Amino acid sequence: MVNLDYLKNLNDAQKEAVTHLDGPLLIVAGAGSGKTKVLTSRIAHIIAEQKAFPNQILSVTFTNKAAKEMQNRVSKILGAGATGLSWLGTFHSICAKLLRKHASAVNLNSNFTIIDTDDQIRLIKNICKAENIDIKQLAPRYVLAIIDRWKNKGQYPNEVTINQKDIYEKTILPVYKIYQQKLTDLNVCDFGDLILHTVKILEKNDDIREIYSRNFKYILVDEYQDTNYIQSRWLNLLAQKNKNLCCVGDDDQSIYSWRGAEIKNFLEFDQIYENTKVIRLEQNYRSSQNILSVASNLIANNQNRVGKTLTTNMEEGELVKLNCFKNGKDEAIGVSDEIEKKLKKKYSYNNMAILVRAIFQTREFEERFLKIGMPYRILGGTKFYERSEIKDCVAYLRLVHQEKDDLAFERIVNNPKRSIGDTTLKTVHEFAKKNNFSLEVSSIKMIEQNLIKPKTKIGLSFFLNSLNKWRNDLTGKNTGHVKLLQIILDESGYSAMLKNKKDVDNENRLENIKELLSAMKEFENLENFLEHVALATSVDQEWDGEKVNMMTMHGAKGLEFDVVFLPGWEEGLFPHQKSIEEKGQKGLEEERRLAYVGITRAKKRAIISFSMNRFYQGDWIDSMASRFIEELPEKHLEKNSFFDEETNEVEDFDFNQDFEIENEKKSPGWIRYQKRIK
């Protein structure tokens, strides 16, 4: 049964976006403005007005979840009338459907297989081995990232122009050529191929392009600001005939340039498509006015944007809180106290979130929450002490501390690679079981008895000798546990492995290890630290009931919570120094868009905070409040007691960077704090 009331619940701008059916349309949909409602109502309206049959509508999303939600909403409006929306799905699913119909045009059979990341890595490893490329220095994941970047730019191997100064690209291009030929020979595609092949087919075959361009009377695209070159090109080819391309998105939420997204697709839409109608959805249905005012004032500092002003009919709400703390540990305490003493009476844990710029920042919050027994979850990531690089470091320390720790031995004996394979480990295990030895003792005995192959013997002997040396460092030389881990990471080759290996995730791993070193400083000795880790990881990970959410701001896109904490707003951390160094003004504007996304996740309460100094890699680092804080409107803020009541500014503090700090009470932040309270 058709529900013809779908237009009645729309505001004027939404209604215009739904009913404008002629020509290209750009819908600038602000955060919480009901874009999904508009998209689904538009599809329903096209069908209800008999402008097109369901199978003549192409509707594209970025996730299966979004596609399913759209299908369900249209079905609620049209009932059986929604049957036949066969072209509603993700970029990849729709392109796969098209490609199966025309696979022969790119030398594939229609029954081709789509391979996952694990299969891709396995194939790249085999190619690198055959081409004598050291995967210890050039990680397969990094190779795939570069290949994917080329595919997103619409380039087959013979179309790539490499940067001659980039030695990695020089190495990877021949791998790309072999890799792509292997995919064809095996009759398989990776995800990048699904769109790339389809675009090439449409570009080179006028008859095929004409069929689809004529059939798709209306094309709708969600989250258009996140599209890359190849996706935009695909849409352009399909929209050539009817020109009824409707793109919905928010340039202020374009935060995925590192994934290949090109904001210019959105900003230049009306230049690419003549007679474009631009409609702004500026009424927000999510956040209070104070939250919107703060977010809008912040994002207005960006130059490259379409521009809009968000408003709401909701209550003004509470002021956005801005808190300053003397250090990161106090920041974590402040957040937990706010939740425990004030917020949990009114809001559920599930409706609270802590959004960080970098994933290593969760550590101090996790430590605090574990200490007080407050349940939490990491969304889109792994808890700090469960991250592989952290478990590796802890395993090294455990084995130095206790030679009978077979689990730790097994984890790191060949990490980094020392030519100690599974076969050798199996043999060592059997020897240990037979003689009731630990794996370490068994390894020593087997070397003495020449039971280990010569190549393996070299790597295993190096490892065993290193363990003895590190134990002597700890007990004989009284080396501190923090320094000990630094020595282990250096002498084992683990640090070099992360620093030298081109891998897309290694930067985060290094940051996490640096954070681990800071965490260790809080404990008197190695034994106390290992006990802490054991207790932290033994806590029941499946608490019954609700949990506070922790995640990165990137991971929070598309989500909403009653209460949002935004800690760590400090220069170098947020905006992130690397982003500014690599991309300049463009990088700064994307960081500001990320801040905007973070703030607009909040429905009722937003709490921003920064610290005057942080304990980083065993040293106190003086912090400067993020430049974004200066861009927040004063009248919509509530500041804590650390701020000077007369100037509403945090006092600047100059100090000698070479000053050696022995404890917290000599830190720059503590000194500054004492000055303030006197």
Residues annotated as catalytic (active site), given as ranges: 35-36, 222-223, 253, 601
For 551, phi and psi rounded to 5 degrees? -170, 170
Nearest to 503 by CA among 117, 135, 124: 135
- Total length of the chain: 678
Name the strand (E) or helix (H) holding 396.
helix 388-401
- Please report, in angstroms and rounded to a whole number, the separation of the first and last CA atoms in the chain: 73
Name the strand (E) or helix (H) holding 398.
helix 388-401
Q: How far is CA 428 from CA 184, 466, 558, in A?
A: 42, 19, 50
Nearest to 614 by CA among 624, 604, 602: 624
| Token pair in block for residue 434 | 């037979």
Strands 619-622, 613-616: pairing kind:
antiparallel
Local structure of residue 473 (DSSP, 8 states): I
**Residue 95 and residue 97: Cα distance in Å, rounded?**
5
| Token pair in block for residue 139 | 């990680």
Cβ-contact 54, 83 below 8 angstroms: yes
Q: How far is CA 500 from CA 134, 141, 176, 483, in A?
A: 12, 14, 22, 22
**Residue 430 and residue 371: Cα distance in Å, rounded?**
41
The amino acid at 561? F
Cβ-contact 340, 626 below 8 angstroms: no
Cα dihedral 377/380/385/389 (nearest 10): 180
